[in-house]
Structure formats: structure tokens, C-alpha cells
Amino acid sequence: MSFLTYLINGLSLGSIYAIIALGYTMVYGIAKMLNFAHGDFIMVGCYVIFSISGALSGNGVMGTVIAVVVSIVLCSLLGITTEFIAYRPLRGAASPLAVLITAIGVSYFLENLALIIFGADVKSFSSVITWKGISFAGGQLKIQGVTIVTIVISLVILICLQLFINKTKQGQAMLAVAEDKGAATLMGINVNKTIMLTFAIGSALAAIAGALLCSAYPNLSPYVGAMPGIKAFVAAVLGGIGSIPGAMIGGLVLGIVEILSKTYISSQLSDAIVFGILVIVLIVKPTGILGKVIQEKV
């Protein structure tokens, strides 16, 4: 019974990693760039919800819905703007690392801007999910509402993204851009527009992930997104770069492994164990759980 409790705890944590990883892998898989600022987009989304729902606190559920919608829109805009100002000029730079460093610059910028605007102290985030969840076995097993909602939303996003990418023209364009930018241009695809759309979607997903992250773990600070961002990166790699279902599985696996290693091995060394397992998985399967093996040509 206690094992089941821990497993459910792992699922709660993993579902949060998974939903962040979905947004992360969008940008990562298509634009082929490590967006280190993704975690900070999450942070921005949380602050937007916090500020707006604070202002609309009298309006109950409507207030929350408005706050989340505004946060999604603003995050999309932020993603598009960041891409336009900081990332687009470096497309085609001599090294792909250039844009990685700029992303770090953007991450510092957002964190320090939030620090100046909102101050360093943590703020307690009111959960956007008020549902308490369900209990089994006479209350001994309990799944929190936010966990169920997160998993459902992750699945919905997963299905929507899969449909979008495989069934729509823009989605196909994204795949083409991911495969080969030059060839995509030759096929009449507007690469800039496609990547902009990718960022818009990825950042909107960051806002949704942020709302759920802060609902599950209600401490809001300028650095709230940094560590989840890295964990999402790990989850995306674990699942296989560019694979959307992979990101979801990677996130869930990461969360469960983290909780179980804390429980049964050592809470002091759980970071080391989680990363150790990542290393082992990648050695056994060098392209992640669902990653494709690409044959190299000379």
C-alpha cells in the first residue's frame, strides 16, 4: 500500500515534469535549439496569473479563467518577441552554440527583471484547480485533483500536438523545417514564420505548465522556472529529442524515479541517483526512450 502511495506521488511530480517537457520539446525538437529561457517563460506566466487573479479575486472562477487565458496570450507574445529579437538574428550562425548562449542571456534578463518588478520574496500562488481529488481504499490512497487535471491536460495537449503536426499543413511545415531548413525553404515553406509559430505554441504551453506547476507547488519566485526547466530538458532528452510522446513519457519516468529513489535509497543522494539513471538509460539507448536512430553519412 505504501508503495502505491509513493507511486502516486511520483506520478504527481512526473505529470508536472511531463507538461513542462511538452512545451520544451516543441521548441527543442523543431527549432533545434535549447531554449534555456523556457523555464523563465513559465515563471512569467505564473506572475501574470498571480497578478491578474489577485486583481480579479472577487470574480471567482471567471477571474481565474481570464487570468490563465491572458497569461497564455502574453506568454505566446513573449515567445514570439524573444524569438524575433534574440534568436532569429543568430539563425545560421557559424555555431549552434551561439543561440544557446543568447538563450542564457534571455533567461538572466527575465529572472532579473522579475526580481526588480516583483521583489525576491516568495509569493504564495492560489491554486487554479480547486478540486481536491479522489480517494481510494477508505482514504488511504489519494490522488490530488491537480495531478489528475495535469495528466488529462498533458494527454489532451499530446493528442492535439500529434494531430496538429501530422495532419495540418503548418504542422508538416514544422517537421520539414526540423528536418532541413534549406530544403524546407526550397519547398516554399516560410521558415521564419514556421519557427515563430513553434515559439508561440511552445510558450503558450509554458504558460499552461506554469499554472499547473504553481498550483501543485504554490511558491512563486523569480527563479521558480529555472530548475523545472532543466528537469524538463532532461525529460525531453530521456524521452528522445524531438519526440512529443517521448517528452511525456520522459517526464513521467523522471518524476517516478525521483520519488522512488528518495523513498527507497536516499533522500540526500536522490539528485545523483536520478541523474545516474539518466546516464544508464542513455548508455543503453543512446537516443533516448523513443528517439529515432539517425544513420550518419560521410
Q: Please report, as residue ranges, which positions from 257 to 286 form the binding site for other proteins (by CB under 8 A).
A: 258-259, 262-263, 266-272, 275-276, 278-279, 282-283, 286
State which of residues 184, 208, 232, 234 lies at the interface with other proteins (CB under 8 A): 234
Binding-site string for other proteins from residue 7 to residue 26, where x marks contact by CB under 8 A and - marks none: --x--xx-------------
Please list the alpha-helical segments (H only) found in the chain: 2-30, 38-55, 60-82, 97-118, 145-167, 169-179, 181-186, 191-216, 226-239, 244-264, 270-284
Residue 119 buriedness (CB in 10 A; 0-12 / 13-18 / 19+): exposed
- Identify the bridge partners of residue 220 per DSSP, sorted by sequence position: 123
Nearer to other proteins, 169 or 283 (CB): 283
CA dist list (Å): 105 to 39, 72, 87, 109, 230? 13, 23, 11, 6, 16
Supply the minimum distance, in Å, between the C-beta of residue 161 and other proteins: 20
As measured in angstroms, the least distance from the Cβ of 170 to other proteins is: 25
Nearest approach, Cβ of residue 227 and other proteins (Å): 6
Return the C-alpha cell found at 115.
Answer: 526580481
Give me the least distance between CB of 37 and other proteins, in Å please.
10
Choose, by CB under 8 A, the member of 173, 241, 247, 290 that binds other proteins.
Answer: 241
* 3-state DSSP of 198-225: HHHHHHHHHHHHHHHHHHHCCEECCCCC
Nearest-approach distance from CB 150 to other proteins, in angstroms: 13
- Which 177-216 positions form the footprint of other proteins (CB under 8 A)? none
Residue closer to other proteins (CB basis): 84 or 168:
84
CB of 22 or CB of 231, closer to other proteins: 231
Please say which residue, 110 or 189, places its beta carbon nearer to other proteins: 110
Phi/psi at 13 (5° precision): -65, -45
**Choices 70-78, 90-98, 186-194, 200-208; region in contact with other proteins by CB under 8 A:** 90-98
Q: Which of residues 98-157 bind other proteins (CB under 8 A)?
A: 98, 100-102, 104-106, 108-109, 112-113, 115-116, 119-126, 139, 142, 144
Instruction: Please state whether beta strands 219-220 and 123-124 pair in parallel, antiparallel, or not at all (unpaired).
Output: antiparallel
Residue at grid coordinates 514570439: 80
Q: Please give the C-alpha separations between residue 243 and each of 49, 133, 158, 287, in angstroms, as whole numbers.
A: 30, 30, 11, 11
Q: Can residue 36 be called a binding residue for other proteins (CB under 8 A)?
A: yes
- Residue 221 makes contact with other proteins by CB under 8 A: yes
Contacts with other proteins by CB under 8 A: the residue count is 77
Nearer to other proteins, 164 or 178 (CB): 178
Q: Return the number of the residue (168 or 266) whose C-beta is nearest other proteins.
A: 266
CA distance 207 to 192: 23
